[in-house]
Amino acid sequence: MLTTQRREKSIPGTVLVVGADPAFRDLARSAFQRDGHDVVLAATGEDGCRVFDHRVPDLVVMDLGLPVVDGYEACERFRTRGTGARIPVLMLTGSDDADAISRAYEAGATDFQTKPVNWQVLRERVRYMLRGKRHADDLQKLADYDGLTGLPNRATFEQRLTNALVRSTQDGTTVAVIFLDLDCFKEINDTLGHRFGDQILRLTGERLIQVLRSGDRPLLGRRRTEEPWAGRFGGDEFSVTVPGLPTPEAATAIADRIRGIFAQPFHLEGHELFVTASIGLSVSPVDGDDADTLLKHADAAMYAAKAVGRNNLTTYRPSMSVRASERLSLAGELRRAVGRSEDLVVHFQPKVDITTEDVVGAEALLRWQHPSRGLLGPLEFLALAEEMGLGPALGDWVLSTALAGSAGWRGRDDKPIPVAVNLANSQFRSPDLLDRLMQTIDTVGLSTAQVEVEITETVALKNQLADTGLLAEFKERGIRTAIDDFGTGQSALGVLRHLRVDSLKIDRTFVRELETDSRDRAIASCIVDMSHCLGMTVIAEGVETQGQLDVLRAMGCDQAQGFLFSRAVPATAFPQLLLDMGAGQPRSRAGRSAVPDVDTVSATG
C-alpha cells in the first residue's frame, strides 16, 4: 500500500512558479524539485505569460501580489491561451478575505492557499492537483483522440482546422485539407482479419506523422509557420491539414508527397501487403473558408479519385459537389428500394449453343426501375450497394427471384433451361453461403443441375477460392460454376488451373474487335484452347454481329450470348423468347434494350 501511495505522489510535471519575491521563488524551486518536478520561474505576471506561451506547464503556482500585471489578470490571460483553459492554477494570497478568494475563482483560479506558505502543505496540494490533472488529461485524450492511432479525432481535427483558418485569414496564407481513404481496406479485414487491419491503420498513422514532421520547408512553403497535423475520422479515413502555405498551388505537391507514403509495402507477420489510398484535396480560400466546407469538398474530391481507380489524387472542382449530392440521393433511394424490394427486377438473357443456335441456358441480370431515371443497369448502382453494405441482402434477393422466376422453363426436346446467377464479393464472406443457396434451390423446387453460379475472376482472386475448397463443394452438390469476365483480372492464366469450375466466359472486351483485331483473335483462341484442355465449356459474352459469331464458331467456342441473339428480357417474356428462337425466328426480332447489355464486375449483375 505504501508503494502505491508513493508511486501516486511521484507524478512528475512542469510547474510554473510566478512570484515577485526572489526568496519565495528559490524556496519553491527547491521544494518542487525534491518531488521530481521540472520548475520554471517568473518574477512578474508579464514574464509568467511569456513563459506560458513558450512552454505550457502542467500547473501554475502564482502569488496574487505581482507588479503591473497582478495574479488576477495573469490568470485571465492564461485561460485565453490554447490549452490554458485546462491548466490548474493555484493562487497564493496573504489574505483569506472572501472577496479576494471569490475574485481569484472568477479570474480562473483552480484553488488557493494563504500565506505565509506552509511548504509541506503546498507540496501535498501540488501533488494532488497534478494527479487530478493527469486523470483529466487521460479522459480528455479519450474524448479528443483516436484510441487506435493516437491521432486527433474528427471533432478535434475540425476545431484545429477552424483555428488555422482564422489565422490564415489574418496573415493571408492558404490552408490545405487532404482527405484520404485506403483502397480495398475492407478486403484486408475480410481475408486476414481485423487484427491485421488495425495494424495497417496504426502504421498509416505513423507514416503520416513521419512525412509531416520531415521538416521539408521548401516543399511545405517558406512562409509556413505552423506545423501540419493528421487526424483519423474512423474506419480507414484519414485527413491532413497543412496551414500557412504561400499559395494554393503548393498544396498539390504536399498531397502527392502523402500519397508516396504508400509506395513501400507493409510487412506484417510474414505478409507483405501493398496498400494504396485515394486522395482528395481542397484549399482555402479557393474551395471554402470554413472547416465544414473544406472537409466536404476534400471528401468529394476523394470519391472522384476513387471512381477513377486506385492510388489516385484529385483536386476539388465545383462539379464534384453536384455528383456527390446526386450520389447521396441515389444511396438513399437505393437503400429504400433494397429494403422493400421496390422497383428491383431481374431480366434474363439467353445463352446459345454456337453450333445449333439452340437456347441452352440463361443469365439472370439485375435491373433497377428507378422512379425518375428509368431502367438502370447494374454498373450504375451495384458498386454503391456494395459500399453501403447492401450486397448480401441484394444478392440473396436476386438469387431467390431469379430461381423462382425461371422454374419450369424448357428448351428444345423439353430440356430444363439452367439459370446462371452472379454472386457478389460480399456474399462470399458469409460462412453459410452454400447452405443458403441449397435452401433457396429446395424452396423453389429446382434441381441443382438447373443452377449455375457465376463468379468474376476478380472475386475469385480476392476470396482465394482456389484454396478454400468452396468451388469443390459446389461441384459435389451438383451446382455448376463459371468464371465471368475472364481476362480482366490479375494473374488470370496462373490461377485458372487451380479453380475447379465448369465454364469460362470470355470478356466482351476481347469479343468486340474479333473481326478486325488479330491480337484479340489470338487471345480469344488461346482462351478457348486452354479451357478445353482443362475440360471447361467456353462462353463468349457480348456477341453482337454475325462476323463475331463466325470467328468464334471457327475457334471452337461452345456458347455465346449478346444482342445478336436477344436483349435481356423480363421473366414473363422469356418463355415466348424460347418459343420464337426454338421455332427458328430471325434473331433481329429480339431487338436491343434501352439498358446496355453489360455484365457487372461485382456480381449480382
Q: What per-residue confidence (pLDDT) applies to 376?
A: 79
Q: Is the pLDDT of residue 562 over 80?
A: yes
pLDDT mean over 356-380: 84
Contact 73, 50 (CB under 8 A): no
The answer on 500 and 439 residing in a single domain is yes
pLDDT value for 583: 41
In a domain? residue 170 = yes
Q: Give the model's pLDDT for residue 327.
A: 67
pTM of the model: 0.51
| pLDDT at 556 (0 to 100) | 95
Which tens digits make up the pLDDT trace of 281-335?
Answer: 999 998 998 999 999 999 989 988 887 777 889 898 887 766 666 666 667 677 7
| 208 and 271 both lie in a single domain | yes
In terms of Cα–Cα distance, which of 427, 502, 488 is closest to 456? Answer: 488
> Is the domain of 223 the same as that of 369?
no
Write down the H helix ranges in 273-315.
Answer: 291-308
* CATH number of the domain within which 30 lies: 3.40.50.2300
Do 343 and 286 sit in the same domain of this protein? no
Asked whether residue 34 falls in the same domain as residue 177, the answer is no
Q: 596 in a domain, yes or no? A: no
Q: Quick: pLDDT tens for 394-442.
A: 888 888 889 988 888 887 777 889 999 988 777 777 778 888 899 989 8
Task: Determine the pLDDT at residue 225.
Answer: 52
pLDDT at 32: 92
Residue 324 pLDDT? 63
Q: Are both 423 and 563 inside the same structural domain? A: yes
158 and 130 fall within a common domain: no
Determine the pLDDT at residue 181: 92
pLDDT digits (tens, 9 = 90+) for 433-470: 888 899 989 888 888 989 999 987 767 766 666 556 78
Residues in the chain: 605
The pLDDT value recorded for residue 596 is 39
Chain segment 548-561, per-residue pLDDT in tens = 999 999 999 999 99
Domain boundary among 125, 144, 163: 144
User: According to the per-residue pLDDT averaged within each range, which of 41-45, 390-394, 411-415 is highest?
Assistant: 41-45
Total domain count, the chain: 3
Q: How far apart, in whole angstroms, are the C-alpha atoms of residue 495 and residue 124?
A: 71
Q: What number is the average pLDDT over the span 23-52?
A: 90
Of 144, 170, 194, the residue that ends a domain is 144
Give the chain's mean pLDDT.
81
Q: Which of 144, 168, 200 is the last residue of a domain?
A: 144
Task: Find the DSSP H helices in 348-484.
Answer: 382-387, 391-406, 433-444, 457-462, 465-468, 470-476
Residue 598, pLDDT score:
39
Q: Domain limits at 11?
A: 2-144
Neighbours of 460 (CB within 10 A): 26
Please name every residue paired with 353 in a beta bridge, in sequence order, or none if there are none: 559
Predicted confidence at residue 323, as pLDDT, reads: 63
Strands 277-283 and 174-182: antiparallel
Is the same domain home to 175 and 305?
Answer: yes
pLDDT exceeds 60 at position 575: yes
pLDDT digits (tens, 9 = 90+) for 159-217: 899 989 998 888 888 999 999 999 878 777 767 777 888 899 999 999 999 988 765 44
Q: Considering the domain boundaries, does residue 394 fall inside one?
A: yes
Tell whether 324 is covered by a domain.
Answer: no
What is the identity of the amino acid at 319? S
Q: Alpha helices of 11-114 — where are they, by DSSP H?
A: 22-34, 45-54, 71-79, 98-107
What is the CATH classification number for the domain harbouring 188?
Answer: 3.30.70.270
Whether residues 429 and 502 share a domain: the answer is: yes
For residue 212, tell me if it sits in a domain: yes
Question: What average pLDDT does this structure show over 482-489?
Answer: 72
Q: What is the pLDDT of residues 245-254, one digit of tens each?
A: 888 778 888 8
442 and 565 share one domain: yes
530 occurs within a structural domain? yes
Higher pLDDT, 263 or 8: 263
For the chain, counts of helices (H) and of strands (E): 24, 22
CATH code assigned at 503: 3.20.20.450
Residues 6+ apart with CB under 8 A from 418: 360, 361, 362, 449, 450, 451, 452, 480
In this prediction, what percent of the chain has a pLDDT beyond 70?
A: 83
307 lies in some domain: yes
140 pLDDT band (50/70/90 cuts)? low
323 within domain boundaries: no
Whether residue 513 sits in one domain with residue 403: yes
**Residues 161, 137 share a domain:** no
What CA–CA distance (Å, rounded) separates 135 from 139? 6
